Structure 1
Amino acid sequence: MPAYVAFLRAINLGAKRKFPKADLQRVAESVGTGVQVHLNTGNVLLTSRQRSSAAVARTLEEAFVADRGFEVPTIVLALPELGRVVADAEEVAGQAPFAVGAHYVSFLKEEPSAEALAAFTAREAKGESAVVRGATVHLLVAEGGAYHSAKLPGRVEKDLGAATNRNLTVVAELARRWG
């Protein structure tokens, strides 16, 4: 059976979106096998008989809303895709026009249109850059810059659609651990 990595968006934020790790594990086990949960931010490894990432995402989202009572947008990658994201990250950072201080990865629900992509990349500002590869956005901030004050991270969902974001350190650790 194929292995998948699911990235959940906006859980454990505030009092109304709680999804404890043990509950997340239990619900994911109702959908797939070999479930592992990393951190309490919604990183899940599972195997499934389903043959597409989109089908796994839909099934997980249905199980999450049934259990929690609120929607949990979920982006799913086949496990080999996660390794490619990490390999891309090294290449992307090496081509940045500045010394990279922070590198984040946003996983999009769908690959953006050419128009949306053009609008998004036109927003680049000094000391920050974005490289979009398929449905993955690599967000780079120069040394001395701060991710939370950069302009591009806040524009990802507004310009490109539903997404969830992780620090490259976490993404690389998941690829190492689960790959």
Structure 2
Amino acid sequence: MARFVTLFRGINVSGTQVRMDELKALHKNLGQSDIATYIRSGNVVFTDNETSASQLPAMIEEAFASRFGFQARAVLRTAAELETTIAHNPFVEKAASTPNWLIVLFLAEQPTGEALANLRQTYNGPEEFELVERELYIYYPNGIGRSKLTLPLIEKRLNTYGTGRNWNTVLQLQKMLQG
């Protein structure tokens, strides 16, 4: 049984509203089962035994654009990949004390070492960040709201797109994938 989570980027913010029951229906129409959503930020947990993991993001993005009339990026992770993400958290103590200030940025592709060096040279703020494969863990000591370390800046420097979830959400998605 192949369990996945779709992490949509940029829905239900800035006027792009999509109901979670509509996302469930989208996944059901793609032949997926055991579908559940978590909060309104575009998290969909599902089972798919027919489609390869490498084909799913493009398939879901295409179906999304067709159904809703606008594009939304989709980053997918398997249940095993999410377990690895949790196991490799470089900010364990900070996650325990201030989980809302730890963001995992799930990237579509693994950035090069040169791209990461570019980000480190470009940004010298109070935030701490570590790249582990396709996840960028970012600790925002003053909260994310006023930070200058923004998603557009990160994506530009790393040459890939991604979508962020706070540590509480990551742990909740883990539970859902196990259930």
Query: Which TM-score tier does this pair reach, normalised by the shorter chain?
Result: 0.7 to 0.9
**Residue type of the alignment partner of 2:86:** V
Q: Give distance in 1, aligned partners of 2:134 and 2:125.
A: 24
Q: Give distance in 1, aligned partners of 2:87 and 2:2.
A: 21
**For 1:5-84, what aligned pairs fall within 5 Å after superposition?**
5-15=5-15, 17-31=16-30, 32-48=32-48, 49-52=50-53, 54-84=54-84
Q: Contact 1:123–1:152 at 8 Å: present in 2 too?
A: no
Q: Percent identity?
A: 23
Query: TM-score, with normalisation over the residues of structure 2?
Result: 0.87
**For 1:1-179, what aligned pairs fall within 5 Å after superposition?**
1-15=1-15, 17-31=16-30, 32-48=32-48, 49-52=50-53, 54-89=54-89, 92-94=90-92, 102-142=101-141, 145-154=142-151, 155-160=153-158, 161-179=160-178
1:170, distance to aligned residue in structure 2 (A): 0.5
Q: Secondary structure at the match of 1:147?
A: coil
Q: Give distance in 2, aligned partners of 1:138 and 1:14.
A: 24
The 1:111/1:9 distance shift into structure 2, 3 A limit, reads: same
Q: Give distance in 1, aligned partners of 2:133 and 2:65.
A: 28
Q: Contact 1:107–1:164 at 8 Å: present in 2 too?
A: yes
Q: Give distance in 2, aligned partners of 1:23 and 1:139.
A: 31
Deviation readout 1:14-58 (Å, 9 max, x if unpaired): 33x221111111011112111111111100111111122x31111
Q: Give distance in 2, aligned partners of 1:40 and 1:146.
A: 20
Q: Which runs of 5+ in 1 are unaligned?
A: none
Q: Secondary structure at the match of 1:170?
A: helix
1:176, distance to aligned residue in structure 2 (A): 2.2
Aligned residues: 171
Q: Secondary structure at the match of 2:51?
A: coil
1:65, distance to aligned residue in structure 2 (A): 0.6
Deviation readout 1:75-133 (Å, 9 max, x if unpaired): 001111111111222xx11488xx86721011111111222111112345353111011
Q: Give distance in 2, aligned partners of 1:104 and 1:59.
A: 26
**Residue type of the alignment partner of 1:157:** E
The 1:94/1:35 distance shift into structure 2, 3 A limit, reads: closer
Runs of 4+ in 1 over 6 A off after TM superposition: none
**Residue type of the alignment partner of 1:132:** L
Q: Contact 2:106–2:136 at 8 Å: present in 1 too?
A: yes
